[in-house]
Protein backbone atom coordinates (compact mmCIF):
# COMPACT_ATOMS: atom_id res chain seq x y z
CA UNK A 1 0.00 0.00 0.00
CA UNK A 2 1.24 3.50 -0.79
CA UNK A 3 1.69 5.85 2.17
CA UNK A 4 -1.27 8.14 2.82
CA UNK A 5 -2.31 10.76 5.34
CA UNK A 6 -5.20 9.86 7.61
CA UNK A 7 -7.75 12.33 8.89
CA UNK A 8 -10.85 11.64 10.97
CA UNK A 9 -13.83 13.99 10.70
CA UNK A 10 -16.97 14.40 12.79
CA UNK A 11 -19.06 16.75 10.62
CA UNK A 12 -20.10 16.60 6.96
CA UNK A 13 -18.75 20.12 6.25
CA UNK A 14 -15.42 19.10 7.74
CA UNK A 15 -15.28 16.05 5.45
CA UNK A 16 -16.00 18.11 2.33
CA UNK A 17 -13.37 20.71 3.28
CA UNK A 18 -10.77 18.03 3.97
CA UNK A 19 -11.40 16.58 0.51
CA UNK A 20 -11.16 19.98 -1.19
CA UNK A 21 -7.91 20.81 0.58
CA UNK A 22 -5.96 17.72 -0.45
CA UNK A 23 -5.80 16.45 -4.02
CA UNK A 24 -6.33 12.72 -4.53
CA UNK A 25 -8.34 12.21 -1.34
CA UNK A 26 -10.83 9.44 -0.74
CA UNK A 27 -13.61 9.16 1.82
CA UNK A 28 -13.45 5.86 3.68
CA UNK A 29 -16.47 4.23 5.36
CA UNK A 30 -16.56 0.45 5.65
CA UNK A 31 -13.44 0.29 3.49
CA UNK A 32 -14.17 -3.27 2.37
CA UNK A 33 -13.58 -2.46 -1.30
CA UNK A 34 -11.35 0.62 -1.07
CA UNK A 35 -8.73 -0.97 1.20
CA UNK A 36 -8.67 -4.07 -0.97
CA UNK A 37 -8.08 -1.91 -4.07
CA UNK A 38 -5.32 -0.06 -2.21
CA UNK A 39 -3.64 -3.36 -1.36
CA UNK A 40 -3.86 -4.29 -5.04
CA UNK A 41 -2.34 -0.95 -6.07
CA UNK A 42 -5.44 0.01 -8.08
CA UNK A 43 -6.32 2.87 -5.72
CA UNK A 44 -3.44 5.07 -4.51
CA UNK A 45 -4.95 7.95 -2.52
CA UNK A 46 -2.69 10.47 -0.83
CA UNK A 47 -5.22 11.07 1.93
CA UNK A 48 -8.00 9.00 3.51
CA UNK A 49 -10.83 10.87 5.18
CA UNK A 50 -12.42 8.62 7.82
CA UNK A 51 -16.15 9.41 7.71
CA UNK A 52 -17.28 6.57 9.99
CA UNK A 53 -17.91 8.94 12.92
CA UNK A 54 -20.26 11.23 10.97
CA UNK A 55 -23.83 11.31 12.30
CA UNK A 56 -25.35 9.57 9.25
CA UNK A 57 -26.39 6.32 10.92
CA UNK A 58 -30.16 6.69 11.28
CA UNK A 59 -33.08 5.08 9.45
CA UNK A 60 -36.19 7.23 9.72
CA UNK A 61 -39.73 7.28 8.36
CA UNK A 62 -40.34 10.51 6.43
CA UNK A 63 -43.42 12.10 4.92
CA UNK A 64 -42.48 10.58 1.54
CA UNK A 65 -41.08 7.19 2.53
CA UNK A 66 -38.00 6.07 4.44
CA UNK A 67 -34.59 7.74 4.66
CA UNK A 68 -31.46 5.66 5.26
CA UNK A 69 -28.32 7.45 6.44
CA UNK A 70 -25.28 6.81 4.25
CA UNK A 71 -23.29 5.28 7.11
CA UNK A 72 -25.89 2.75 8.18
CA UNK A 73 -24.23 -0.66 7.84
CA UNK A 74 -25.62 -3.07 5.28
CA UNK A 75 -26.51 -5.42 8.16
CA UNK A 76 -28.44 -2.76 10.06
CA UNK A 77 -30.35 -1.68 6.97
CA UNK A 78 -31.30 -5.24 6.01
CA UNK A 79 -32.59 -5.96 9.51
CA UNK A 80 -34.32 -2.68 10.30
CA UNK A 81 -38.01 -3.09 10.98
CA UNK A 82 -38.99 -0.32 8.53
CA UNK A 83 -36.98 -1.92 5.72
CA UNK A 84 -38.02 -5.52 6.39
CA UNK A 85 -41.72 -4.65 6.55
CA UNK A 86 -41.96 -1.99 3.80
CA UNK A 87 -39.02 -2.75 1.51
CA UNK A 88 -38.22 -6.47 1.96
CA UNK A 89 -36.78 -6.42 -1.60
CA UNK A 90 -33.92 -4.30 -0.27
CA UNK A 91 -33.33 -6.58 2.73
CA UNK A 92 -33.32 -9.61 0.44
CA UNK A 93 -30.85 -8.06 -2.00
CA UNK A 94 -28.48 -6.92 0.75
CA UNK A 95 -28.51 -10.31 2.48
CA UNK A 96 -27.76 -12.12 -0.78
CA UNK A 97 -24.45 -10.25 -1.13
CA UNK A 98 -21.06 -10.75 0.53
CA UNK A 99 -20.75 -12.35 4.00
CA UNK A 100 -22.04 -11.32 7.42
CA UNK A 101 -18.59 -9.95 8.30
CA UNK A 102 -18.49 -7.74 5.20
CA UNK A 103 -22.10 -6.61 5.58
CA UNK A 104 -21.32 -5.59 9.18
CA UNK A 105 -18.54 -3.33 7.87
CA UNK A 106 -19.95 -2.09 4.55
CA UNK A 107 -22.04 1.08 4.52
CA UNK A 108 -25.11 1.94 2.46
CA UNK A 109 -23.37 4.86 0.73
CA UNK A 110 -20.22 2.85 0.11
CA UNK A 111 -22.12 0.01 -1.53
CA UNK A 112 -23.08 2.38 -4.38
CA UNK A 113 -19.42 3.25 -4.89
CA UNK A 114 -17.91 -0.22 -4.99
CA UNK A 115 -16.01 -0.88 -8.16
CA UNK A 116 -16.23 -3.66 -10.71
CA UNK A 117 -14.68 -7.04 -9.92
CA UNK A 118 -13.48 -7.41 -13.55
CA UNK A 119 -10.21 -9.27 -12.97
CA UNK A 120 -8.37 -7.13 -15.52
CA UNK A 121 -9.37 -3.97 -13.66
CA UNK A 122 -8.49 -5.47 -10.29
CA UNK A 123 -5.00 -6.63 -11.19
CA UNK A 124 -2.55 -3.91 -12.31
CA UNK A 125 -0.19 -6.51 -13.79
CA UNK A 126 -2.53 -6.39 -16.79
CA UNK A 127 -1.50 -3.35 -18.82
CA UNK A 128 -4.81 -2.96 -20.62
CA UNK A 129 -7.73 -1.55 -18.69
CA UNK A 130 -9.46 1.66 -19.73
CA UNK A 131 -11.18 1.93 -16.36
CA UNK A 132 -7.91 1.77 -14.42
CA UNK A 133 -5.69 3.43 -16.99
CA UNK A 134 -7.69 5.42 -19.58
CA UNK A 135 -6.61 4.80 -23.16
CA UNK A 136 -4.77 1.55 -22.41
CA UNK A 137 -7.39 -0.75 -23.95
CA UNK A 138 -9.68 -3.47 -22.64
CA UNK A 139 -8.09 -6.84 -21.90
CA UNK A 140 -11.48 -8.35 -21.06
CA UNK A 141 -12.86 -8.06 -24.61
CA UNK A 142 -10.54 -10.82 -25.83
CA UNK A 143 -9.89 -12.35 -22.42
CA UNK A 144 -11.88 -14.31 -19.86
CA UNK A 145 -15.20 -12.52 -20.05
CA UNK A 146 -17.79 -15.07 -18.98
CA UNK A 147 -19.06 -12.76 -16.21
CA UNK A 148 -19.02 -9.55 -18.23
CA UNK A 149 -21.69 -7.19 -19.54
CA UNK A 150 -24.22 -7.94 -22.28
CA UNK A 151 -26.17 -4.65 -22.22
CA UNK A 152 -24.89 -1.07 -22.50
CA UNK A 153 -21.21 -1.96 -22.80
CA UNK A 154 -18.81 -0.20 -25.18
CA UNK A 155 -15.69 -1.10 -27.09
CA UNK A 156 -13.81 0.57 -24.23
CA UNK A 157 -15.21 -1.43 -21.32
CA UNK A 158 -17.41 -4.49 -20.74
CA UNK A 159 -17.27 -4.51 -16.94
CA UNK A 160 -20.33 -5.08 -14.76
CA UNK A 161 -21.45 -3.36 -11.58
CA UNK A 162 -21.07 -5.91 -8.76
CA UNK A 163 -23.73 -4.78 -6.27
CA UNK A 164 -26.89 -6.70 -5.39
CA UNK A 165 -28.22 -3.93 -3.18
CA UNK A 166 -28.12 -1.41 -6.03
CA UNK A 167 -30.34 -3.62 -8.20
CA UNK A 168 -33.05 -3.42 -5.54
CA UNK A 169 -32.48 0.32 -5.10
CA UNK A 170 -32.97 0.79 -8.86
CA UNK A 171 -36.29 -1.09 -8.84
CA UNK A 172 -37.39 0.84 -5.73
CA UNK A 173 -36.73 4.18 -7.50
CA UNK A 174 -34.47 5.40 -4.72
CA UNK A 175 -33.04 8.93 -4.68
CA UNK A 176 -29.49 9.61 -3.60
CA UNK A 177 -28.87 12.68 -1.41
CA UNK A 178 -25.39 14.12 -1.77
CA UNK A 179 -23.49 17.01 -0.26
CA UNK A 180 -20.50 18.72 -1.83
CA UNK A 181 -18.47 21.88 -2.16
CA UNK A 182 -21.33 23.49 -4.11
CA UNK A 183 -24.07 22.44 -1.71
CA UNK A 184 -26.60 19.63 -1.61
CA UNK A 185 -28.40 17.91 -4.47
CA UNK A 186 -30.50 14.85 -5.25
CA UNK A 187 -29.73 12.25 -7.89
CA UNK A 188 -32.41 9.81 -9.06
CA UNK A 189 -31.01 6.30 -8.91
CA UNK A 190 -31.15 5.72 -12.68
CA UNK A 191 -28.93 8.77 -13.08
CA UNK A 192 -26.41 7.83 -10.38
CA UNK A 193 -24.33 5.14 -12.14
CA UNK A 194 -23.07 5.55 -15.72
CA UNK A 195 -22.65 3.40 -18.77
CA UNK A 196 -18.98 3.16 -19.77
CA UNK A 197 -19.05 4.83 -23.21
CA UNK A 198 -15.64 6.32 -23.99
CA UNK A 199 -14.92 7.19 -20.33
CA UNK A 200 -15.21 3.96 -18.33
CA UNK A 201 -12.89 5.41 -15.67
CA UNK A 202 -15.92 7.39 -14.42
CA UNK A 203 -18.29 5.01 -12.60
CA UNK A 204 -20.96 7.49 -11.54
CA UNK A 205 -22.26 11.06 -11.82
CA UNK A 206 -20.98 12.32 -8.47
CA UNK A 207 -18.90 15.47 -8.82
CA UNK A 208 -15.42 15.39 -7.31
CA UNK A 209 -15.59 15.87 -3.55
CA UNK A 210 -19.29 15.06 -3.24
CA UNK A 211 -20.31 12.80 -0.37
CA UNK A 212 -23.39 10.57 -0.26
CA UNK A 213 -25.49 11.62 2.76
CA UNK A 214 -28.61 9.47 2.54
CA UNK A 215 -30.81 7.22 0.41
CA UNK A 216 -34.51 8.04 0.13
CA UNK A 217 -36.91 5.18 -0.55
CA UNK A 218 -40.22 6.53 -1.90
CA UNK A 219 -43.63 5.60 -0.51
CA UNK A 220 -44.73 4.69 -4.06
CA UNK A 221 -42.73 1.44 -4.00
CA UNK A 222 -43.40 0.53 -0.35
CA UNK A 223 -45.31 -2.56 0.75
CA UNK A 224 -45.60 -4.15 -2.69
CA UNK A 225 -45.05 -7.79 -3.57
CA UNK A 226 -41.43 -8.21 -4.52
CA UNK A 227 -38.64 -10.71 -5.01
CA UNK A 228 -34.88 -10.63 -5.53
CA UNK A 229 -33.43 -13.63 -7.31
CA UNK A 230 -29.66 -14.10 -7.58
CA UNK A 231 -28.01 -16.71 -9.81
CA UNK A 232 -24.35 -17.49 -9.19
CA UNK A 233 -21.71 -20.20 -9.49
CA UNK A 234 -21.59 -20.81 -5.72
CA UNK A 235 -24.73 -20.77 -3.58
CA UNK A 236 -23.46 -18.20 -1.09
CA UNK A 237 -20.72 -15.56 -0.84
CA UNK A 238 -20.27 -15.08 -4.59
CA UNK A 239 -21.07 -12.30 -7.04
CA UNK A 240 -24.09 -12.64 -9.30
CA UNK A 241 -23.85 -14.03 -12.79
CA UNK A 242 -27.31 -12.55 -13.24
CA UNK A 243 -29.80 -11.24 -10.71
CA UNK A 244 -33.26 -9.74 -10.98
CA UNK A 245 -35.31 -7.49 -8.72
CA UNK A 246 -39.05 -7.51 -9.32
CA UNK A 247 -41.76 -5.51 -7.62
CA UNK A 248 -45.41 -5.74 -8.64
CA UNK A 249 -48.81 -4.50 -7.65
CA UNK A 250 -51.84 -6.19 -9.24
CA UNK A 251 -55.40 -4.99 -9.71
CA UNK A 252 -58.12 -7.17 -8.22
CA UNK A 253 -58.75 -8.68 -11.66
CA UNK A 254 -55.08 -9.66 -11.92
CA UNK A 255 -53.90 -6.97 -14.35
CA UNK A 256 -50.65 -5.21 -13.59
CA UNK A 257 -51.17 -1.80 -11.94
CA UNK A 258 -47.48 -1.19 -11.27
CA UNK A 259 -44.33 -3.18 -12.02
CA UNK A 260 -40.66 -2.29 -11.42
CA UNK A 261 -37.90 -4.50 -12.80
CA UNK A 262 -34.12 -4.36 -12.69
CA UNK A 263 -31.26 -6.70 -13.55
CA UNK A 264 -27.86 -7.08 -11.95
CA UNK A 265 -24.73 -8.72 -13.34
CA UNK A 266 -25.35 -7.83 -16.97
CA UNK A 267 -24.30 -4.18 -17.30
CA UNK A 268 -22.02 -1.40 -16.09
CA UNK A 269 -24.91 -0.22 -13.89
CA UNK A 270 -28.02 -1.83 -12.41
CA UNK A 271 -30.20 -2.29 -15.51
CA UNK A 272 -33.67 -0.88 -15.04
CA UNK A 273 -35.99 -2.69 -17.49
CA UNK A 274 -38.24 0.23 -18.45
CA UNK A 275 -39.35 -1.28 -21.74
CA UNK A 276 -40.33 -4.57 -20.13
CA UNK A 277 -42.28 -2.67 -17.46
CA UNK A 278 -44.23 -0.78 -20.15
CA UNK A 279 -45.02 -4.00 -22.02
CA UNK A 280 -46.42 -5.59 -18.85
CA UNK A 281 -48.37 -2.72 -17.30
CA UNK A 282 -52.13 -3.01 -17.76
CA UNK A 283 -51.98 -6.67 -18.81
CA UNK A 284 -52.54 -9.99 -17.12
CA UNK A 285 -49.29 -11.31 -15.66
CA UNK A 286 -48.80 -14.38 -17.80
CA UNK A 287 -45.56 -16.27 -18.07
CA UNK A 288 -45.38 -15.96 -21.86
CA UNK A 289 -45.91 -12.20 -21.69
CA UNK A 290 -43.08 -11.80 -19.15
CA UNK A 291 -40.83 -13.93 -21.38
CA UNK A 292 -41.57 -11.67 -24.36
CA UNK A 293 -41.11 -8.48 -22.32
CA UNK A 294 -37.72 -9.64 -21.05
CA UNK A 295 -36.77 -10.72 -24.58
CA UNK A 296 -37.60 -7.25 -25.92
CA UNK A 297 -35.50 -5.62 -23.21
CA UNK A 298 -32.58 -7.91 -24.14
CA UNK A 299 -32.83 -7.55 -27.91
CA UNK A 300 -29.88 -5.13 -28.05
CA UNK A 301 -27.61 -7.45 -26.09
CA UNK A 302 -24.04 -7.83 -27.33
CA UNK A 303 -22.39 -11.02 -26.18
CA UNK A 304 -19.10 -12.89 -26.41
CA UNK A 305 -18.72 -16.63 -26.91
CA UNK A 306 -18.23 -16.99 -23.16
CA UNK A 307 -21.12 -14.88 -21.85
CA UNK A 308 -23.78 -15.59 -24.49
CA UNK A 309 -25.56 -17.79 -21.93
CA UNK A 310 -26.50 -14.66 -20.00
CA UNK A 311 -29.27 -13.68 -22.44
CA UNK A 312 -31.35 -16.76 -21.71
CA UNK A 313 -30.32 -16.73 -18.05
CA UNK A 314 -31.36 -13.08 -17.65
CA UNK A 315 -34.71 -13.76 -19.28
CA UNK A 316 -35.43 -16.80 -17.10
CA UNK A 317 -34.21 -15.05 -13.94
CA UNK A 318 -36.59 -12.16 -14.60
CA UNK A 319 -39.52 -14.48 -15.30
CA UNK A 320 -38.99 -16.39 -12.08
CA UNK A 321 -38.37 -13.26 -9.99
CA UNK A 322 -41.56 -11.61 -11.21
CA UNK A 323 -43.70 -14.74 -10.97
CA UNK A 324 -42.44 -15.25 -7.42
CA UNK A 325 -43.11 -11.61 -6.58
CA UNK A 326 -46.66 -12.03 -7.82
CA UNK A 327 -46.96 -15.23 -5.79
CA UNK A 328 -47.82 -17.03 -8.99
CA UNK A 329 -44.76 -19.20 -9.23
CA UNK A 330 -45.82 -21.71 -11.87
CA UNK A 331 -42.37 -23.20 -12.38
CA UNK A 332 -41.63 -26.85 -12.09
Partner 1 sequence: MDSDEHPRLLDGGFNRREFVATAVAGILPLHTSTSTHSGSSSKISVSLLVNGQRQEAQLDSRVTLLDALREQFHLTGTKKGCDHGQCGACTVLVDGRRVNSCLSLAVMNDGREITTIEGIAQENSLHPMQLAFVENDGLQCGYCTPGQICSAVALLKEVSQGQASAVTQDLTQLKPIELTDNEIRERMSGNLCRCGAYVGIVAAVRQANGGE
Residues 6 or more apart from 327 whose CB is under 8 A from it? 225
Residue 265 and residue 148 in contact, taking contact as beta carbons nearer than 8 Å:
no
Judged by CB under 8 A, which of 32, 174, 221, 315 binds partner 1?
Answer: 32
Judged by CB under 8 A, the residue of 79, 119, 133, 199 near partner 1 is 79
Q: Which of 175, 169, 170, 167 is nearest to 64 (CA)?
A: 175
CB-wise, 8 or 316, nearer to partner 1? 8
> Number of helices and strands (H, E) in the chain?
12, 12
Pairing between β-strand 47-50 and β-strand 5-8 as defined by DSSP bridges: parallel
Residues between 47 and 76 that touch partner 1 (CB under 8 A) = 48, 50, 52, 75
DSSP for 227-283, please give it.
EEEEE-SSSSSS--SEEEEEEEEE-TTSBEEEEEEEEESSSSS-EE-HHHHHHHTTS
Angle at alpha carbon of residue 261, lines to 184 and 185, rounded to 5°: 5
- Return the residue of 14, 17, 22, 35 that touches partner 1, per CB under 8 A: 35
Which of the ranges 27-35, 60-68, 187-195, 275-283 carries the binding residues for partner 1, by CB under 8 A?
27-35
Interface stretch with partner 1, choices 95-103, 108-116, 173-181, 211-219 (CB under 8 A): 95-103
Closer residue to partner 1, CB minimum distance, 93 or 293: 93
Would you count residue 125 as binding partner 1 (CB under 8 A)?
no
Is the CB of 3 or the CB of 183 nearer to partner 1?
3
Least spacing, CB of residue 36 vs partner 1, in Å: 5
Least Cβ distance, residue 115 to partner 1 (angstroms)? 14
Interaction of residue 114 with partner 1, rule CB under 8 A: no
**Contact criterion met (CB below 8 Å) for 314 and 266:** yes
Q: Which residues bind partner 1 (CB under 8 A)?
A: 1, 3-6, 8, 28, 31-32, 35-36, 39, 48, 50, 52, 75, 78-79, 81, 84-85, 88, 91-92, 95-96, 98-102, 104-105, 236-237
Amino acid sequence: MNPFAYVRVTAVDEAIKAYANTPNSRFIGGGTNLLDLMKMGVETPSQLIDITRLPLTEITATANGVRIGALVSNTDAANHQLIRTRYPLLSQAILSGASQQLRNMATMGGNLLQRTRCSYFYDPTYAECNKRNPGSGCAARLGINRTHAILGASQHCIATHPSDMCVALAALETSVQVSGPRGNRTLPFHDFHRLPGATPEIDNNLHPGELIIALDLPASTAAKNSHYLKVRDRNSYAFALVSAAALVDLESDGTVRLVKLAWGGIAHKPWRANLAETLLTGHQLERSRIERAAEQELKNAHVTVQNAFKIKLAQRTMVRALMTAARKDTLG
